[in-house]
Structure 1
Amino acid sequence: MSKKILLIDGNSLAFRAFYAMYQQLDRMVTPEGLHTNALVAFNNFLESIVLPMQPDMALVAWDARSGKETFRGDLYDDYKAGRDKAPSEFKEQFPYLREMVEAHGLHNYEQIGLEADDIIGTLSRVGEKAGDQVIIITGDQDLTQLVTDSVTVKLTKKGVTQVEVYTPDFIMEKFGITPAQIIDKKALTGDTSDNYPGVTKVGEKTALKLLKEYHDLDNLYAHVPDMKASKMKENLINDKASAYRAQKLATIITDAKLEIGLSDLVYREPEEKGLVTLFEKLHFKQALSKLRAHSLLDEDFAEAAEDSEKKQGNFAAVKELNEAALTQLAKEKSLAFHIDTTGDNYHQADMIAYAIGNDQVGYYASRDLTLLGSETFKRIIESQEIALRLFNAKAHWVLLHRLGLNLAGVDFDFLLVAYLLDTVGNDNVLSTLAGRFGRYLASNEEIYGKGAKFAIPEDETVVLEHVGHKAQTIFDLRDQAFADLDEHEQGHLYHDIELPLSFVLAKMEAQGFTVNEDRLSKMGQEMEEQIASLKDEIFQMAGEEFNINSTKQLGTLLFEKMGLPVIKKTKTGYSTAVEVLEKLAPQAPIVEHILAYRQLAKLKSTYVDGLLAVVDPADHKVHTRFLQTLTQTGRLSSVDPNLQNIPMRTEAGRKIRHAFVPSHDDWLIFGADYSQIELRVLASITGDPAMEHAFVEDEDIHAETARKVFGLADDAPIDADQRRTAKAVNFGIVYGISDFGLSKNLNIARKDAKSFIETYFQEFPKIHQWMAAIKEKAHQDGYVETIEHRRRYLPDINAKNFNTRSFAERTAMNSPIQGSAADIIKIAMIKVNQAIEERGLQAKMLVQVHDELVFECPKEELEQLRETVTTVMDQAVKLAIPLKVESHAGPTWYEAK
């Protein structure tokens, strides 16, 4: 019986995957700093193209080494020469691609001396000879030469999820030649990608015409003497050796001696547990949800639930809470308390049930919210004498604040402790985190269902037992978790920074930031008018109407009808990406209009319409949530809505801040931010004299860097472009940027970017020495620390794989800098909040945007607030060089910057 054999060109599709989501490169990064754009696109390819095929046998073939180390390199020294090295942002993803292939049930294979094409070519002929159906998926048209009635090639068209199917009939219809003639087509045209020439001035059109007339290369050259004198005839004669060499280079090996056979390629069902482990490591939340939605993990959940039931003999019986029980609980010195809600966004979620208790008096649960309003419960929650144990104290503070209660006496927040113990595997889910400590707890998903839709069980006992078991788990985990924290020497991080900060953040969230909805709506209307006007102007310049949002239609207009130079092409046509349009803008006014149209359309949909959708109608404020346990560096994140991400690079984006206003008349918005805090931290911990001197003397650090990088005199004037370059290098060094990343940011050649980085290290040698030392320390200890001893563990720092190890080393270099800056702003927030309360100011802290704090205050308090905030921030942490705080105030957030 005929079998279905699937052969995938790994290198080709991996590169296409990287560039398919290239625009998202800077956004698709895990909390650990791993870029994932190629991994996401490759996973999409496997799920949308491969899995539905259900092949009998499947293989992903990889190039073992560069093409120069095969017979082709021996045949032509410059084969594949001149190619840029793969960006480090791509190479760091490569090891995970193979892991992803295995988890999806496919096999990986490479063999020294062969390219992936040759492996595929050989196996395709073995499969064809066995009478099987062979399907090849690639992004490289070279493989279409393998097509036969039994071998089909699927060539990716757009990204990696859209394909064009090549059969003998299709190739004849498309090119007018047979699959075998594709080799001779390449012989005539050469291949710029693989860097080998064919015949001078012979392009694809000419090559196809010659092959239709003469069929193959041998017959063509047999008839060259009969051709009329022409430049083409002259080129064919002069480049005959080149053509025959190109023919050999283009020919895929189909009879290589492989170490595997078809019997080794049996396709397995996806390894569900392997996928879950990989997706969790890569933070693929959407992919995980998709797995669960398709019930791929039902069996695992069933096993976990069964295992959990066996272990639940450890749980005490949960009793129903009443006033008498509360009275008894109020006498205890330590209690666990937990509230279940209908969603993660506790500002909008409803309370399902709550539980309270300890191992001595037992655990009590209820769904009766009126009990939360009792005086006895209030005494428990607001007492400083009862040590409370919770999971996510900040969420509980906000939920109880709704009821007029002030949560106090928190001793143990398991969410914060678990985060400090292991930032790498943290998922903020109680059941998962408890499992690390050997506690088997049912998840909300098991009790209330999957996804965001909650189905409260009709049997109320199930709900009460569930929330009661959570309370007991939290209570019992305290001693072990604190012991682990002390062992990691991170007790002070929890007690002095993270726990106090959680209450500062809770108050900020509850306070909210007032939005002038009329002003924001008016901005939206103005943007809508500007968008319509731009659209009309674009159509006038184009001389026709078209879909501006269509890449195909826009490409046809710009490059075919208007004749603008083609900057970049994709498999589906012309690229109209932002960087392409920015290069074309000086040559055609229409391009500037298109860029402005895109920018305004995104601003309106994301920041005008998006913000209006989440304004609380009760108080006309947005109540963001600050995620304290998400990032690896300790930085805070803002969600629902993200107030840290409002655009600041363009005037149109900055104007969104006009809509953010104080909550009272005659109040002002006040902002204070650290100036170049990460570079000051870098100077302080490295002790580099040149950088320290610039900061101590309060000089422009970017101008000073520009003079050093460009080899200028100490007093030489610096232009805007030089300063911009130096700024990109300065901050790029902090983030462990590669020459590829810097070249992308500055739109310069990689060799120039590499030169800038090398010169930088020569001029700031202590920084280079420190980076070498911190890498060595990371290899020895397995982690690096911030100035406050916040640890970032690096499990891959001693990995055998070069790319994996290199990525961990870059992380080791930048984490102490970013993490220390995060420590400083957190300490400042705690101290500023304390100072405002001690001085009896009415001012409220509203938002933290990385290095900036935003407040609202009465006009008469402004100068007192300015003096308080800037002094406290200046002195929050003592570094070897001074911190610098800049402040601004105004009637809106826009004017306060």
Structure 2
Amino acid sequence: MKDKVIIIDGNSLINRAFFAIPSLSNKEGIPTNGMYGFLNMLFKLLDKHSPKYVSVAFDLKAPTFRHKLSSDYKGTRKGMPDDLRPQMNMLKEILDNLGINRMELEGFEADDLIGSVAKLCGRENLDVMIFTGDKDALQLVDDNITVYITKRGITNLKEYREEDVFEEFTLMPNQIIDYKGLSGDTSDNIPGIPGVGPKTAIKLLLEFTTVENLILNSEKVKNKRIRGLVEEYKEQALLSKKLATIVTNIPFEFNVDELLIKEKNIEKLIELYKKYEFTSFIRNLKEESLHLTNTTSEDEINNNLVEEEEIEFKLINNLNELSNMVSEIKKNKVISIKSIYDKANIRTNEAIGFAISDKDTTYYVDLLGEVKFIDLKVILEDENIKKITYNGKREFLIAFRYGISIENHTFDGFIANYLINPSRNKYELSDVAMEYLSKAIKSKEDLLGKGAKAKKYCDISFSDLSNYSAVYSRILFEVHCELDKKLIELNLSELFIDVEIPLVEILASTEYEGFKVDESVLNEIDEDLTNKLREIESEIYSYSNEKFNINSPKQLGVVLFETLELPVIKKTKTGFSTSHDVLIKLEKKHPIVPLVIEYRTYSKLKSTYVDGIRSVINKETGKVHSSLNQTVAVTGRLSSSDPNMQNIPVRIPIGRKIRKVFVADNNCKLIDADYSQIELRVLAHMSKDENLLLAYRENLDIHTMTASKVFNIPLDEITADIRSRAKEVNFGIVYGMSDYGLSETLKIPRKTAKLYIEQYFEKYPGVKEYMDTTIKECKEIGYVVTLLNRRRYIPEINHKNFNLRSFAERTAMNTPIQGSAADIIKIAMINVYNRLKREKLKSKLILQVHDELIIDTSEDEIEIVKEILVDEMENAYKLDIPLLVDMKVGTSWFDTK
């Protein structure tokens, strides 16, 4: 078998990666998306192909011989994006420390280096693989050289051997330069022959083989027009071919051993990966290193990266051993815990293992034998033992299942990690271990796999499962101190201890209790939606004069833009765009368009809410057990999933009707308590604007007052419609809405929207000053904070790109307001939950949706629960103005709105 050589077009692929991963940066705001995507691809290639030789070729800024041949060469190309430019040198530094060869040479492009080295390696009878996004490289394909072109992003590659090139172009690889000589290349500003497109170029080359032969035999070209073009532009065709030709014989000394993968600088790589927050790369560093040839020895790697795949732990599999363990734990009074169970049914899940660590010892409790989860009650309910968790909600859920209450839960590393950096995509303990302890441990995905082929815990061998669990609890015990220090450093401890930690139990409780569903109402709505969709479908077909799949963007595009000849707004790679924004612009062009929009609305209601709700009804309880998540929204708001209870559309009647599906439990009523305009009240408090404060202190209608001030209309002449428009302005300001956004919302000219915003700030100058100050401070320190000091990093705030910077400024304005409102509702949840528990009431908190709390209330407790809600919600946080709560009682959620 021949040795493999991988040669990568560095500029091409980091550019692809940059656009494939739109936004990624570390907390200091250093952009990292191009570099991250490139390295991800590199590691996958190394893992898949195990090459002996690797090189990455880069372009230099200096002009090449092609620029001397043609001053217009690549003249139409845009400059490198500002956020990509610094990543080039950052990537090169990482490659150097990975021991990967780099090539760059003044006067030549990366393509020329790739071509020359590839041909030299080919002559050495090596198996050469070139990876690029540029089809110019296809001219290099031969018996020893295969080219891989990125199709979408950087991970989808198309392989080209000689037969593949011929299949696509009906040409041999060495004819690609002739093809470019005739048809040109707009991306490189290679002119070719005007009027000769790809099809004509191929036809000519099938007959004449090369550009030179075509010019020599131009009189034989049958098409008179093409013959004239060839004769007129023959010099341009020859120049174009020369510009398109990759140099394969650069005169330089070369030895293939230069491409051998060298020894890695592990210490420096860890430093760089930590700097750019590439924790997954750190975790996989040992494994990746072992895939490479000529790299550091395993011992050297282990000296730099401690991988605790196995630790000593005590196995507990009988009640006597359990009793001894409990005695030891009670001496230390602090433990980290990790329960092992496969999540199938919230009310019937079975725990199969439990790992515990204190400062001295780690234990794994086997729950498949004599010891059962209920036997852990003595530990979990001991108020003198502090419990440390990672995603503690999971621990509470399994405890509730066995009738156990976890007491003295003091630390959740999952939540701590989220507070420290709320913008992360995931918060795996394995990443935290690497970041804070430089220790590599298995992630859940490493243990179980991912996707459809993922295993369950019960499928894992006892040895692997016990070791994984023990390591998990040990690392959690060790890392929690580091996370705690970081919380203190960032002044987040109070928010963590007083709000986020108590909330873990409450969210577990709401999920465990669930919300009862009336399936008969769900069936009625399903039938209504089905009938409505049939009606709309019939109307659409009456305009299209043919049946087609309305859900198919491709088929819909043909009907709209070819059959009905509507103006094309936007095209995609696969055809006409029929996205929602396109349809909105076409809404008044033809009656079929609003019908399609309506069809999509009802179709989404049926699939997402009717079918979606039906699929998650728990057969044991007849309820949905929606999961409220603490670590998803960067603002601190809770998110909801399985089903998403927070996004049920209420602007259309049938959407509102979906709330009828959710009903009170037997002998209960639902009480829905909703904060009145909490975000506007927070804005008044934070901005100290006198007019806003006055309005709320005197209990004036803020939307009517804004309408009067902004639209210059007397208070007694404000209509419901005008008030509604003012409401959009009020909340638009809260959300940092631009004049364009407001114009789209109110369907008014942008100039008018701009005037409204200016008038708003003129009438509420304190708001304007607050917004300006917030943006200024964010530009200086890189983040904003809520009233409770929750942080959100906004690295794009100083971005050179106007659109990104503007979005960041709007985010900076909105986050403290929305985040503070989220913090206040969380405090209210905690206080209400604790009161219900303390007063031993049967009523249960079952849902939070943005600014409202829903209590499933025993009918004999309605009045006391109402008092509790008003007391605890209105006194959750002391603002300069009162917090007010609206409350309704009903049999269904619909009745309470």
Report which stretch shifted further, 450-459 or 56-65.
Answer: 56-65
- Mapped to 2, the partners of 1:249 and 1:723 lie a distance apart of 65
Cα deviation for residue 514 of structure 1 reads 1.0
Give the structure 2 partner of residue 555 of structure 1: 557
1:827-842 equivalences in 2 (<5 Å): 827-837=827-837, 842=842
Q: Does 1:321 align with 2:337?
A: no
Offset at 1:770? 2.6
Q: 1:457 to 1:802 in 2, by over 3 A?
A: same
Cα deviation for residue 108 of structure 1 reads 8.0
Counterparts of 2:594 and 2:456, CA distance in 1: 45
Does the residue aligned with 2:736 lie in a helix, a strand or coil? helix
Equivalent in the alignment of 1:606: 608
Q: What corresponds to 2:567 in structure 1?
A: 565
Deviations 1:767-826 (A, max 9, x none): 223321233234xxxx65432234557899999999999999998776545543332221
The structural deviation recorded for 1:365 is: 3.4
Give the TM-score normalised by structure 2: 0.69
Give the conservation status (yes or no) of the 8 Å contact 1:524–1:608.
yes
The Cα offsets for residues 97-130 of structure 1, whole Å up to 9 and x where unpaired, read as 999999999888889999xxx5436644664587
Q: Determine the C-alpha separation between the residues in 2 that align with 1:475 and 1:654.
A: 47
1:30–1:36 CA contact under 8 A, matched in 2: yes
Deviation of 1:616 after TM superposition, in Å, equals: 1.4
Q: Which of residues 576, 580, 583 in structure 2 aligns to 1:581? A: 583
Question: Whole-Å Cα distance in 2 between the matches of residues 593 and 888 of structure 1?
Answer: 36
Over aligned residue pairs, what C-alpha RMSD do you find? 7.0
Instruction: Please give the alpha-carbon distance, in whole angstroms, between the structure 2 residues aligned to 1:882 and 1:307.
Output: 55
Q: Is the 8 A contact 1:365 1:465 kept in 2?
A: no
Of 773, 776, 783, the match for 1:772: 776
Code of the residue aligned with 1:583 in structure 2: it is K
Q: Who is 1:616 aligned against?
A: 618
Which residue of structure 1 lines up, in the alignment, with residue 404 of structure 2? 405
Choose from 660, 683, 691 the match for 2:662: 660
Query: Measured at CA, do residues 472 and 740 of structure 1 come closer, stay the same or move farther in structure 2, by a change above 3 Å?
Result: same
445, 453, 458: which one pairs with 2:456? 453
Count of residues in Structure 1 that have an aligned counterpart in Structure 2: 863
Deviations 1:254-308 (A, max 9, x none): 699999989699496999998999799889999999x999x989x99x9799953
Write the mapping of 1:682-721 to structure 2, written as runs, cut at 5 A: 684-687=685-688
Q: CA deviation at 1:352?
A: 0.8
Tell me, yes or no, if the aligned pair for 1:141 and 1:155 is still in contact at 8 Å: yes
Letter in 2 for 1:849: V
CA distance in 2, matches of 1:247, 1:703: 69
Distance 2:61 2:541 in 1: 50
Q: Distance in 2 between matches of 1:508 and 1:543?
A: 51
Q: CA deviation at 1:351?
A: 0.3
1:625 is aligned to 2:627? yes
Paired residues of 2:116 and 2:249 also in contact (CA < 8 A): no
1: CA distance between counterparts of 2:282 and 2:591? 42
Q: Distance in 2 between matches of 1:664 and 1:213?
A: 84
Deviates more, 1:842-851 or 1:686-695: 686-695
CA distance in 1, matches of 2:713, 2:323: 78
Show the 5 A alignment for 1:60-459.
80=76, 119-120=110-111, 123-124=114-115, 127=118, 161=156, 169=166, 179-180=176-177, 266=259, 307-308=307-308, 312=312, 320-322=318-320, 325=324, 334=333, 336=335, 338=337, 340-343=339-342, 347=346, 349-354=349-354, 365-367=365-367, 381-385=380-384, 387-388=386-387, 390=389, 392-413=391-412, 415-417=414-416, 420=419, 433=432, 450=449, 451-455=454-458
Deviation per residue, 1:605-647 (Å, 9 max, x gap): 3333333222211111122333334555433333444433444
CA contact (8 A) 2:306 2:438 kept: no
Deviations 1:472-521 (A, max 9, x none): 77677777766665565444333322232222223212211112223324
- Give the letter aligned to residue 498 of structure 2: D
Tell me by how many angstroms 1:672 deviates: 1.4
> What is the CA–CA distance in structure 1 between the aligned matches of 2:188 and 2:760, rounded to whole Å?
34
* Contact 1:627/1:637, CA 8 A, preserved across alignment: yes
1:359 Cα offset (Å) = 6.6
- Please state how far the C-alpha of 1:592 moved relative to its aligned partner: 3.9
Q: From the superposition, tell whether residues 146 and 383 of structure 1 become closer, same or farther in structure 2 (CA, over 3 Å).
A: closer
Cα gap change, 1:457 to 1:11, in 2 (>3 Å): closer
Matched residue type, 1:334:
K
In structure 1, what residue type is equivalent to 2:342? Answer: G
Q: Aligned letter for 1:581?
A: L
Contact 1:276 1:288 in 2 (8 A): no
1:670 and 2:668 matched = no
Cα distance change, pair 574–636 in 1 and its aligned pair in 2 (3 A): same
Amino acid paired to 1:566:
V
Q: Are 2:845 and 1:845 aligned?
A: yes
What amino acid sits opposite 1:542 in the alignment? S
Q: In 2, distance between residues paired with 1:448 and 1:134?
A: 35
Q: Could you tell which deviates more after superposition, 487-496 or 149-158?
A: 149-158
Residue number in structure 1 paired with 2:295: none
Deviations 1:584-619 (A, max 9, x none): 343334444444444444443333333322221111
Instruction: Give the whole-Å Cα distance in 2 for the aligned partners of 1:659 and 1:66.
Output: 68
Tell me the secondary structure at the aligned position of residue 586 of structure 1: coil
| Distance in 1 (alpha carbons) for counterparts of 2:749 and 2:47 | 40
Letter aligned with residue 569 of structure 1 = K
1:857 aligns with 2:851: no
Which amino acid in structure 1 is aligned with residue 777 of structure 2?
Answer: A
TM-superposed CA distance for 1:669, in Å, is: 5.0
Q: Spell out, residue by residue over 1:871-896, the C-alpha distance to the aligned partner (whole angstroms, 9 max, x if none).
A: 53333222345545555554433443
Identity %: 32
Alpha-carbon spacing, 1:752–1:30, altered in 2? closer, same or farther (3 Å): farther
The runs of 5 or more residues in structure 2 that have no matched partner are: 293-297
Which residue in the other structure is 2:515 paired with?
A: 513
1:137-161: CA deviation from partner (whole Å, max 9, x where unpaired) = 7767888899999998877666663
User: In the alignment, residue 661 of structure 2 is paired with which amino acid?
Assistant: A
Amino acid at match of 2:319: L
CA contact (8 A) 1:58 1:106 kept: yes
d(CA) in 2 for partners of 1:689, 1:78: 58
Report SS of the residue matched to 1:504: helix
